[in-house]
Structure 1
Amino acid sequence: MTPVSSSAFHFDSLVWDWPIAIYLFLVGISAGLVTLAVLLRRYHPAQGTAESTLLRTTLIVAPSTIILGLLILVFHLTRPWTFWKLMFHFSVTSVMSMGVLLFQAYMLVMVLWLAKVFEKDLIVLQERWLPRLNIVKKILNWLTPVQKSLEILLLVLAVMLGAYTGFLLSALKSYPLLNNPILPVLFLFSGISSGAAVALIAMTYRSRHNPHSEEAHFVHRIETPIVWMEIFLLVAFFVGLALGDDGKTRALAAALGGGFWAWWFWLGVVGLGLVTPLLLKSWANRLQSPYGVLAVSAMSLAGVLLLRFFILYAGQLTVV
């Protein structure tokens, strides 16, 4: 059945609301930034140093967004003070439990990898503030022979985390729009797109007089095919709904057949987040001013956030 909604943001079948959309958005940024940072270090090692803006942005933003996202998720639960139990009691049949395990592994490997990347800075801080804490140097020395393996493991975990946000929603089998195998891949690529947007904003802010550095070119080269892949996945997502059973076709009609969320998708996700940045990208790259890059990146980032809201809310309009 399709529930009668009282408003676009409040209706009978709504279970997960706007804090979950913010959580999905923040996790995607973290996974996207880490993915780009690892790829930069592997394919452009001369650029992927501790002085890299992308690496420094990853150092600050990637852990911050994942921690903030988890805090939002925990305090949005009915009983947030019992969440710690999921950290020690795992179930292979629970998507949430496997997600907690993935988050723990991701955070541990990311912290170790970042510590190794910024080893010199970390040692300077340790010697200044905690001179007797020699365990820091020992851990960094232990990591030296496995640094490359650690990097590969982090890349795998970041990709898994980016896709996990889609798996979390696709596990809701009673919602035909969300129960879609394309959703994890769509969220993975849109997460990388959001990470690229954050990185370009940081690069432009840090290098106002040279917004087109070598690492910025690297991010641009990845960003364009990622956006086109997002468009392809969105088309495949909706075509799959159109060719599906009665529940999926009704979910498609409820999402795009008119009303608030249809306008949200066409004007916000497609217009602001995809089409406009693609049309303005070449213009922004030709400008000497950094404001063009900032505007295009901000629109791309907003489009990813609007996509999360659209999938979450429009996906819960129809239940079977």
Structure 2
Amino acid sequence: MILPADPFHFPSLVWDWPIAIYLFLLGISAGSVTFAVLLKQKRLGRDAARSGVVKAAAILGPGAVILGLLILIFHLARPWTFWKLMFHYQFDSVMSMGVMLFQIYMAVLLIWLGGVFAPAIAALRARLLGERFGWVDALLARLPHADRFVEPLLLLLAALLGAYTGFLLSALKSYPMLNNPVLPVLFLVSGLSSGVASCILMATTAFKTDAHGEEVHFLHRFETPLVLIEALLLLCFFTGLWFGDGQKVVALTSAIGGGFWAQVFWFGVVGIGLAAPLLLGHLLPGHGRGKLLIISGCSLTGILLLRYFILYAGQMTVA
């Protein structure tokens, strides 16, 4: 096993660090929107517009996708040609299908947000524009009545977006570690976990949501199951490599057997991202905002490091 001298630069590297951030941001969007919709359905109903968690998702959902796409666009060799992907679809290209998914997801998300915040949007329009564009209010008033169709579709699209981040890497067939059927599910679950952590962080800080309130409790109860499922999927991911062909075993030992990225995995992904949230949840006293922020921060750090680890360690070994 020969590990690269520079863990961030080696001959087989194709996709580098901006892609890891891009994948991380898409997971946050998918996760935050998923739990905002579930919170509205299960707890809040028509009062969702007053929720700090829903407000956080309204920023994180579209904002993370837009920021991720901007990072991807400027990372391209010719960023000014990106507009072609927006209108010329190639059904045999994972990237092109991803662009189509983004467009549909963003359209449905904006329709849902328009329905949730219809009164606030109408009041803002009246204050800024007076009587002009009054027809917008009537359109917004109709949107909440479409929730029974919009919300299931949005949940489906959010799940597809979370899984797409894994499909994007698993399409790289020349890399044995990345060409793994568990990867889309692993990225979906870790994306859901990042959505929970991001919503808790933003809701309790920016929108002063009560750390002991029903909304945070609703989100917090998903944290431990998601961490445990993520750990199980990582075990399945590496077990598949262990029982694979020769190059898959080489990829496994190169990734977690030693070197820089093995340390990132064991100390960052497993230690900070998986073990720390579970242990701190039982060891830290109380249930206040500080405890939630520490646990959520550990989860987000571990999930970001997971993206980096999978991306870089997965490209060290070529079939």
TM over 0.5: yes
Could you tell me which amino acid in structure 2 is paired with residue 122 of structure 1? I
Unaligned runs of 5+ in 1: none
Tell which deviates more after alignment, 275-284 or 261-270: 275-284
Cα distance between partner residues in 2 of 1:304 and 1:211: 23
CA shift in 2, pair 1:127/1:84, >3 Å: same
Tell which deviates more after alignment, 274-283 or 116-125: 274-283
Could you tell me which amino acid in structure 1 is paired with residue 70 of structure 2? L
Q: Determine if the alignment matches structure 1 residue 178 to structure 2 residue 178.
A: yes
List per-residue Cα deviations over 1:37-88 (Å, max 9, x = no partner). 0111111135961111110101112211110000001111111111111111
Cα distance between partner residues in 1 of 2:282 and 2:207: 19
1:167 deviation in Å?
0.2
Could you tell me which amino acid in structure 2 is paired with residue 244 of structure 1? G
List per-residue Cα deviations over 1:153-197 (Å, max 9, x = no partner). 111100000000000000000000000011000000101101111
Contact 2:116–2:144 (Cα < 8 Å) also in 1 = no
Partner of 1:297 in structure 2? 296
CA shift in 2, pair 1:154/1:207, >3 Å: closer
Q: Determine if the alignment matches structure 1 residue 263 to structure 2 residue 255.
A: no
Cα distance between partner residues in 2 of 1:173 and 1:288: 45
1:198 deviation in Å?
1.0
Cα distance between partner residues in 2 of 1:38 and 1:246: 44
Could you tell me which amino acid in structure 1 is paired with residue 273 of structure 2? G
User: What percent identity do the matched residue pairs reach?
Assistant: 55
Contact 1:40–1:47 (Cα < 8 Å) also in 2 = no
Partner of 2:160 in structure 1? 160
CA shift in 2, pair 1:161/1:48, >3 Å: farther
Tell which deviates more after alignment, 43-52 or 292-301: 43-52
Partner of 2:53 in structure 1? 54
Could you tell me which amino acid in structure 1 is paired with residue 296 of structure 2? S
Unaligned runs of 5+ in 2: none
Partner of 1:92 in structure 2? 91
CA shift in 2, pair 1:234/1:47, >3 Å: farther
CA shift in 2, pair 1:106/1:207, >3 Å: closer
Partner of 2:147 in structure 1? 147
1:261 deviation in Å?
0.6
Cα distance between partner residues in 2 of 1:281 and 1:247: 39
Q: Helix, strand or coil for the counterpart of 1:176?
A: coil
CA shift in 2, pair 1:41/1:20, >3 Å: same
Report matched runs for 1:210-249 at 5 Å: 210-249=210-249
1:206 deviation in Å?
5.4
Cα distance between partner residues in 1 of 2:209 and 2:81: 50
1:6 deviation in Å?
3.4
Cα distance between partner residues in 2 of 1:142 and 1:204: 31
Cα distance between partner residues in 2 of 1:259 and 1:134: 62
CA shift in 2, pair 1:47/1:243, >3 Å: farther
Q: TM-score, normalised by structure 2?
A: 0.95
Report matched runs for 1:199-210 at 5 Å: 199-205=199-205, 210=210
1:202 deviation in Å?
2.4
Contact 2:114–2:143 (Cα < 8 Å) also in 1 = no
1:138 deviation in Å?
3.5
List per-residue Cα deviations over 1:260-299 (Å, max 9, x = no partner). 1111100000001110110111344x42642121111101
Cα distance between partner residues in 2 of 1:293 and 1:43: 22
1:319 deviation in Å?
0.4
CA shift in 2, pair 1:88/1:209, >3 Å: closer
Could you tell me which amino acid in structure 2 is paired with residue 184 of structure 1? P
Tell which deviates more after alignment, 61-70 or 128-137: 128-137
1:4 deviation in Å?
6.0
Contact 1:28–1:194 (Cα < 8 Å) also in 2 = yes
Contact 1:176–1:251 (Cα < 8 Å) also in 2 = yes
Cα distance between partner residues in 1 of 2:209 and 2:227: 27
Tell which deviates more after alignment, 245-254 or 140-149: 140-149
Contact 1:49–1:117 (Cα < 8 Å) also in 2 = yes
CA shift in 2, pair 1:123/1:312, >3 Å: same
Could you tell me which amino acid in structure 2 is paired with residue 212 of structure 1? H
CA shift in 2, pair 1:273/1:129, >3 Å: same
Partner of 1:319 in structure 2? 318
Contact 1:37–1:48 (Cα < 8 Å) also in 2 = no
Cα distance between partner residues in 1 of 2:6 and 2:298: 26
Q: Helix, strand or coil for the counterpart of 1:237?
A: helix
Q: Helix, strand or coil for the counterpart of 2:5?
A: strand
Contact 1:86–1:97 (Cα < 8 Å) also in 2 = yes
